Each structure stands twice: as structure tokens, then as C-alpha cells.
Structure 1
Amino acid sequence: MSDSANKLIVIARFSINYVVRFITASLFLYCCWIPFQYLTGWFSYHVILCTFGYLPLMAEAIMLFVGDDIWSKKLDRKSKYIAHGIIITVATLVVTAGNILVFMYLSPGYHLYTAHGITGLISMILLYISLGFGLAVNYPKQAEKFLPLRPVTNKFIHNITGLLAYGIGITSLCYGYFTNWFVYYTGEESRSVALGLTIAASIWPLNGAFISLWAQLKTVF
């Protein structure tokens, strides 16, 4: 491939990265404009916290490894892992806080009767599993006492559970667009547009992660 073609690809990917960021920010504001405007009780904070955890934070943590982003290119490998770990940890805690509000204030077990609630709970559980294996990757000697697995295996499990947590969390968000609370305050057209943009903007950050996951898969097996 010629140098000019490579430059065009780099420019295109760079542009897509920031279009995706713009869409992500717009979706966050769309999901939160009702809580920001009305603060309709404790449930508003569930919407704000969970949306913030999945859309800006987790998406950004994954995009760190896309490889053609200006700010992440300035970071060395170790710094990227540190930034990734901090962002994912904060995102997990934010999502957990948002989910605790549901568990505390809705009828016991109500969240398990909806696709939105079930996928949200599964995603949160996978996030903590991913965090645990992420710690094992960063501290391999200490992890040997509890996880008799190769570091490359720990990394593979960390990545695949993290991607599943993100994907299922975004699925939960998409189901959330059609919950009674959201339908009451929004129109059908805006929800349909938000659904399409959420799916499109969430897929792009995963391209670098899947390439890395495939390389690890070959190493593990």
C-alpha cells in the first residue's frame, strides 16, 4: 500500500475517532437531559450514573488501544495500561452506584423481570470479573497464589470479560430507551435515532480490541 493511501487511512480513522466521541457526548446529553432538567427523583441519578459509566468512560478506556488517536499515541504502553485501569475502575464504580439505586428503591427482584435490568446486572458482574483478572495481569507474582494460570491467559480472560461487559452494558442501555420511564419523556423518532447511533458509536471502539483479542487467542491456544 502506498504512503498516500496509508495517510488517507490514518486521517480517516482519526476523523472517525472524533466523530464517535462527538456522537457519544451527544448521546450522553440526550440520555441525561431529562434528569438534568427535572431531576425526577432518585431514578434520575441511576440514568445519569449508568449512562456516564458506559458511554463516555468505558468507550474512552477501550479507545485507548485503537492506536491512531493523538492523545493516546503520546502515552507509552505502561501509561496506557494505567490510564485504562483508572478509567475502567471509575466507570465500574459509577455504574455500580447507579445500579445500587435501582436495587435499593425498586421492589425486590423487579430488575430481574426486565431485559434492561437483567443485562445491566450481568454487565456489572462481568465488569468486576474483568477487574479481578486485570489486577492479575498487573501483579502476576501475587496472582499466582490465587490464580494458577499463565499471565497471557489472565489477560485473555480480562479482555474477553471486559468486552462482554461493555457490549452487554450497551445492550442494557439500548433496552433502557424503551422502558416506561424513558418512553414517557421522549418521542419515538428520537429514541430510534439514539438506538442507531448508540450501536454505531459503540462498535467502532471495539475494532482495536478485537484485533488484540485475536492475537491473544492464538497465543493462548
Structure 2
Amino acid sequence: MVIIREESKFEFETKVVNNRDSFILNVVRFILNYLTRFSIAGIVVYVCWIAIRNYHYWFSWHVILCTFGYLPLMAESIMLFLSDEVWATQISRTAKYTVHGILISVGTVMIISGDSIVFHYITPGYHLYTAHGITGFVSMICIILSIPVGIAVKYLRNIKHYLPLSSAGCKFVHNILGILGYGIGIMSLCFAFYTNWFVYYTEYESRILALTVTILAAAWTMNGAVVSLYHQMKSLIF
């Protein structure tokens, strides 16, 4: 009887410790989620203020549209599926897919519009000779390709017999295209901080701060998506 009591006490103490650790972890992640959002908001204000203050009738719109497309629209569409995201847990999974699709679609339209402006007004081909231009173009292609795959995932039950991939395969392709599109797009934004136009209108210190905040915010934004992609990969391989 004494041994049983001791074991029960140990199990109770272990449960209390686990609950405390889980609570602390959730609080930390909650704080990091919203620090990330504040950081993203700061970058958007910083970049768009420079574009508006030094307004050029076409180039400024490239900066504004692409920045809003990636931050916050694409970022929020990815964070929507974090398991510890407070507001997202209040809606159904079907509603999450709908909100995700809307955010991705609006963000993609803004990115395409912003890139089209610069492709049209800058000397043809010049934009694709820069690291910023190449990464931006590749990102745009990945995001565009992810949309029809995402639609196929949403309506998988209706069209699964017509698809060459399994349901898990479709989800994996959609996720990897989305992660690549967003990640390479953030890379393009980081390169943008060191283009001639941006350097001319900003100080060295502000660019370093913007670069650091952008990288950290994007890394945290993608953490859940990357973990999910890893588990999908394991399920497909094994």
C-alpha cells in the first residue's frame, strides 16, 4: 500500500510539472507569435513610409504592393495553422482553409501587380540580372503554382480520382511550394534593402535593423509550416 501511495504521489507531481512546463511553453509561444506580428507591422510601415516619402509614380507601387503581399498577408496565411495560435483555434478547419485561400489569393494578386509594374517600366531583362529580381521572380512562380494545388487539396474528395498524386502527396506539394514561395520572397525583400534605390534613401543602421527583424520574423512565421512539412515527408517516405 505504501508503494502505491508513493507512486501515485510521484505521478501527481510529474503531471503538475508537465502541466506547468506546457503552460510556460504556450505563454512563450504566444508572446513570440505576437512579437512576430509587431515586427512584421514595423517592417511594413518602415518600407512603405520610405516608398511614400520618396514617391515615384510607378516604382513606389512596386515596393508597397510586394511588401504588403508578403508581409503581412502571406505571413498571416502561414501562421493561421499554428496549433497554439489563439484566434485561429476559434474557427473550424474548413474556415481556416477558406481564410488561408483568401489571404494567399489577395497577396498573390498584389505581388503579381507589383512585379508587373517593375517589369514594364525598367529596361527589359534588367530586373532579372539582380539577386533581388531573380529571387522575386522565382518566388512569384512558386506562389502561383501553389494556388491550383491548394484548390485541389481543398476539394480533394471530389477530384481525387483525377489526380496523379495521393492526398498526402498533394498536400506535400502545396506546402513545399508555399514555403519556397514565401521563403524566397523574404530573401528577395532582404536583397531589396541593399538595392541602389533603397540604399540612396536610407541609413546603414536602419537597413541592418530591418534585415535582422525581417529574417527573425520570417523564421518564426515558418516554424510551424516547416515542422508540418517534415512530418509529411516522413509519412510519404516511411
Give TM class, smaller chain: over 0.9
What's the Cα RMSD here?
1.2
- d(CA) in 1 for partners of 2:210 and 2:160? 42
How big is the shift at 1:139? 2.1
Matching of residue 60 in structure 1 with residue 76 in structure 2:
yes
Match among 4, 12, 20 for residue 4 of structure 1 = 20
How big is the shift at 1:153? 0.4
Residue of structure 2 in register with 1:158 after alignment = 174
Q: Which runs of 5+ in 2 are unaligned?
A: 1-16
Q: TM-score normalized by structure 2?
A: 0.89
Matching of residue 136 in structure 1 with residue 152 in structure 2:
yes
Q: Which runs of 5+ in 1 are unaligned?
A: none
Structure-2 change in CA distance of 1:8 and 1:95 (3 Å): same
Structure 1 runs of 4+ with >6 Å offset: none
Specify the code of the residue in structure 2 equivalent to 1:44. Answer: S
Residue of structure 1 in register with 2:88 after alignment = 72
**Which aligned pairs between 1:46-125 and structure 2 lie closer than 5 A?**
46-125=62-141
Task: Give the fraction of aligned pairs with identical amino acids, expressed as a percent.
Answer: 50
- d(CA) in 2 for partners of 1:213 and 1:168? 17
In our comparison, the structure showing a higher alpha carbon Rg is: 2
- d(CA) in 2 for partners of 1:45 and 1:52? 10
How big is the shift at 1:66? 1.3
How big is the shift at 1:143? 6.0
How big is the shift at 1:38? 3.5
Residue of structure 1 in register with 2:188 after alignment = 172
Determine if contact 1:58/1:166 at 8 Å carries over to the other structure. yes
Deviations 1:32-74 (Å, cap 9, x if unpaired)? 1122224222000000000011111111111011111221110
Q: Secondary structure at the match of 1:204?
A: helix
Residue of structure 1 in register with 2:228 after alignment = 212
Deviations 1:10-52 (Å, cap 9, x if unpaired)? 1110011111100000000111112222422200000000001
Determine if contact 1:153/1:220 at 8 Å carries over to the other structure. yes
Tell me the matched-pair count.
220
- d(CA) in 2 for partners of 1:139 and 1:178? 42
Specify the code of the residue in structure 2 equivalent to 1:142. Answer: I
- d(CA) in 1 for partners of 2:229 and 2:92? 20
- d(CA) in 2 for partners of 1:151 and 1:143? 7
- d(CA) in 2 for partners of 1:28 and 1:144? 43
Q: Secondary structure at the match of 1:205?
A: helix
Determine if contact 2:132/2:189 at 8 Å carries over to the other structure. yes
- d(CA) in 2 for partners of 1:143 and 1:123? 27
Q: TM-score normalized by structure 1?
A: 0.96
